[in-house]
């Protein structure tokens, strides 16, 4: 008998039957209240909103997050006391939302909780922004653009976020924490999605390309995650647990 087992497979044992399920090549991170992944504020991540960008990640929320109106951040380039930046998150009142600070009117888009819930399942979340286009944030959930409950265009010059660190799992390191799991994440200096798409697999991170400014493949399985984009935006984890990606 020839065994098909490789180290990248998980053995599934059922009485009278044995088979193997691919583990994938990545890992994911489990976040609780007070957990975060600090990615710093390298020049390659600063002021992307002055042109165009896409931020995306896989997440499995076990609740909407923390705070008075429970909120869990996928990513945030904002900080308390700072006038600039962008963030995207889930919220018990709004569902799935993103904001981007502009001089006159901030851009804001949201899909309510009839579309996006903290359902303890894996989902791919993405936001895009084109400063030379409609100046409206577009939100994608599992590869499909949401039906907007609110979509406000930004008015006025975008405000610099160069002094703010990019974080996964919290607003600014002190509040509005993601509760659940996060898998690979990417930030690009281009609009990657304009219609329905199939997200790269949760356990199989996308390849790096010239437009990638941050790519956390989470291949390490221990320690702090490295940025595969070559831009040095490596993570620093706080109270986060590594787990092997299966699927």
> Is-contact 87 138, C-beta < 8 A?
no
- The mean-pLDDT minimum among 9-13, 71-75, 117-121, 143-147 falls in 9-13
> Is-contact 42 177, C-beta < 8 A?
no
- pLDDT classification of 81: cutoffs 50, 70, 90: confident
How wide is the angle at C-alpha 166 spanned by C-alphas 169 and 149, nearest 5°?
Answer: 65
Report CA Rg, the chain: 18
Phi/psi region, residue 208 (left: phi>0; alpha: psi -120 to 50; beta: rest), is beta
Of 167, 182, 178, 170, the C-alpha closest to 27 is 182
pLDDT at 18 over 80: no
> Is-contact 105 152, C-beta < 8 A?
yes
Summary mean pLDDT of the chain: 91
Q: Tell me, what's the pLDDT at 21?
A: 44
pLDDT digits (tens, 9 = 90+) for 141-185: 999 999 999 999 999 999 999 999 999 999 999 999 999 999 999
More confident residue, 68 or 80: 68
3-class secondary structure per residue, the chain: CCCCCCCCEEEEEECCEEEEEECCCCEEEEECCCCEEECCCCHHHCCHHHCEEEEEEEEEECCCCECCCCEEEEEECCCCCCCCCEEEEEECCCEEEEEECECCECEEEEECCCCCCCCCCCEEEEEEEECCCCCCCEEEECCEECCCCEEECCECCECCCCCCCCEECCCCCCCCCCCEEEEEEEEECCCCCCCCCCCCCCCCCCCCCCCEEEEECCCCCCCCCCECCCCCCCCEEECCEEEECCC
Dmax of the chain from CA atoms? 70
pLDDT digits (tens, 9 = 90+) for 23-74: 567 899 999 999 999 998 789 999 999 999 999 999 999 999 999 999 999 9
Among the CATH numbers 3.40.50.720, 2.60.120.200, 3.90.1150.10, 2.60.40.420, which is that of 27-244?
2.60.120.200
φ/ψ (deg, to 5) at 196: -60, 135
Average pLDDT over residues 201-209: 96
> Is-contact 179 31, C-beta < 8 A?
yes
Q: Cα 179 to the chain's mean position, in Å? A: 13
pLDDT at 7 over 90: no
Q: Tell me, what's the pLDDT at 83?
A: 83
The structural domains of the chain, with segments of one domain joined by +, span 27-244
């Amino acid at each position: 008998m020839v065994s098909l087992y490789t180290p990248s497979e998980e053995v599934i044992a059922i009485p009278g039957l044995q088979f193997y399920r691919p583990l994938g090549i990545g890992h994911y991170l489990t976040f609780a209240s007070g957990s975060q992944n600090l990615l710093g504020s390298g020049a390659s991540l600063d002021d992307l909103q002055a042109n165009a960008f896409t931020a995306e990640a896989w997440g499995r929320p076990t609740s909407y997050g923390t705070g008075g109106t429970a909120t869990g951040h996928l990513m945030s380039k904002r900080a308390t006391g700072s006038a600039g930046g962008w963030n995207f998150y889930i919220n018990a009142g709004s569902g799935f939302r993103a904001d981007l600070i502009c001089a006159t009117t901030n851009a804001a888009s949201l899909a309510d909780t009839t579309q996006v819930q903290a359902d303890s399942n894996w989902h791919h979340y993405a936001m895009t922004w084109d400063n030379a286009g409609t100046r409206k944030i577009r939100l994608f959930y599992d590869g499909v653009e949401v039906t907007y409950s609110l979509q406000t265009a930004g008015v006025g010059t975008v405000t610099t976020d160069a002094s703010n660190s990019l974080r996964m799992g919290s607003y600014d390191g002190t509040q509005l924490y993601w509760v659940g799991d996060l898998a690979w994440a990417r930030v690009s200096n281009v609009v990657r999605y304009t219609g329905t798409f199939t997200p790269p697999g949760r356990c199989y991170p996308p390849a790096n390309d010239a437009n990638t400014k941050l790519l956390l493949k989470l291949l390490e399985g221990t320690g702090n995650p490295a940025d595969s984009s070559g831009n040095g935006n490596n993570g620093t984890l706080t109270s986060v647990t590594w787990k092997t990606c299966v699927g």
